[in-house]
Amino acid sequence: MYFDEKSAQWDTPRRIERAKAQAGFIKKELGRPDNLTALEIGCGTGLLAFELKDYFSKIYCAEPSEGMRAVLNEKLRQSGIQNILPNDTSLLSQQEYFGTFDVAYSAMVFHHIVDIKEELLLLRKMLKPGGHLIIIDLDTDDGTFHSDDPTFNGHHGFDRQELGLLLAQCGFPAAAFQTIYSGVKPMGEKQVLYSLFLCHACKKAPAQP
């Protein structure tokens, strides 16, 4: 598995710097914290979770890669941090967590998810009424960004308007988008330019009787 193989060398200065920037935008978007419990989808080695550990009371991390979870668990053991809780992705289908989270967020994960609609409907179940969904991901590209991964079978970024319409269909109306990062991915002799958006939407509360 690609991410298992890459896990030991994942925490590069470029990714650490990007996680710091992403965390800053998430905090700014959500405002003052109030004992919020969060779910991170695809946490990797925990770069973003570590930047948000003092913002959320608890962060449940759903990560499919065993290698990534192993690196994260070792980092947690060394640091003594106790409010970051690694799990595999089976967490997402456990009914005991439905309606549990104030915030669900992901960074650079959704383009790896084949069935976006299914994921959004599942996340809707995980969130409390009015809960926040934050997606940080790639704007549409021509496929160059993932040309170094022959196993990649996801999406080559997202068209913001199309994603917004899908979010509305899945119970997350009025999604707001902003550009939060422009970077360069080194790929051998190539330098691939890319941009990231932050999408913020809230779970539609049930209609009042």
The residues, any chain, with a CB within 8 Å of residue 165's CB and separated by 6 or more, are: none
When pLDDT is cut at 50, 70 and 90, the band that residue 6 belongs to is low
CATH number of the domain that 46 lies in?
Answer: 3.40.50.150
Residue-wise pLDDT for 98-114, tens only, equals 999 999 999 999 999 99
Element holding 21 (H helix, E strand): helix 13-30
**pLDDT digit string, tens, across residues 42-91:** 999 999 999 999 999 999 999 999 999 999 999 999 999 999 999 999 99
Question: Is 194 inside any structural domain?
Answer: yes
CA distance 184 to 197: 15
d(CA 19, CA 135): 13
Angle subtended at Cα 44 by Cα 41 and Cα 46, rounded to the nearest 5 degrees: 95
Lookup result for tokens 């970077």: 183
In a domain, 208, yes or no: no
Question: For residue 144, what are the domain limits?
Answer: 2-202
Q: Is residue 186 assigned to a domain?
A: yes
Query: In terms of DSSP H, where are the helices of the chain?
Result: 2-6, 13-30, 47-52, 66-79, 116-126, 160-169
* pLDDT above 90 for 26: yes
Residue 209 falls inside a structural domain: no
pLDDT recorded at residue 32: 87
Q: Could you tell me if residue 64 is inside a domain?
A: yes
pTM of the model: 0.91
Residue the block writes with tokens 């790896």: 112
Among 15-19, 114-118, 138-142, 183-187, the minimum mean pLDDT is found in 183-187
In the chain, % of residues over pLDDT 70 = 94
What is the rounded average pLDDT of the residues 137-160?
90
Decide: 39 and 104 in contact? Cβ < 8 Å: yes
Among the residue ranges 1-5, 27-31, 80-84, the one predicted with the least confidence is: 1-5
Q: How far apart are CA 203 and CA 174, in angstroms?
A: 10
CA-nearest of 40, 20, 23 to 132 is 40
Q: Is residue 121 part of a domain?
A: yes
Per-residue pLDDT at 34 exceeds 90: no
Q: Give CA–CA dist 125/188, Å, rounded.
A: 42
Q: Give the 3-state secondary structure of residue 58.
A: strand
Domain total of the chain: 1
Average pLDDT, the chain: 92
10 Å Cβ neighbour count for 102?
A: 20
* pLDDT surpasses 80 at 208: no
Alpha carbon distance 25, 121 (integer Å):
25
Task: With respect to residue 174, please indicate whether it lies within any of the assigned structural domains.
Answer: yes
Q: Which of 170, 163, 114 is nearest to 136 (CA)?
A: 163
Report the SS3 class of residue 118.
Answer: helix
Beta carbons of 93 and 119 less than 8 angstroms apart:
no
- pLDDT grade for 187, boundaries at 50, 70 and 90: confident
**Any domain includes 207:** no
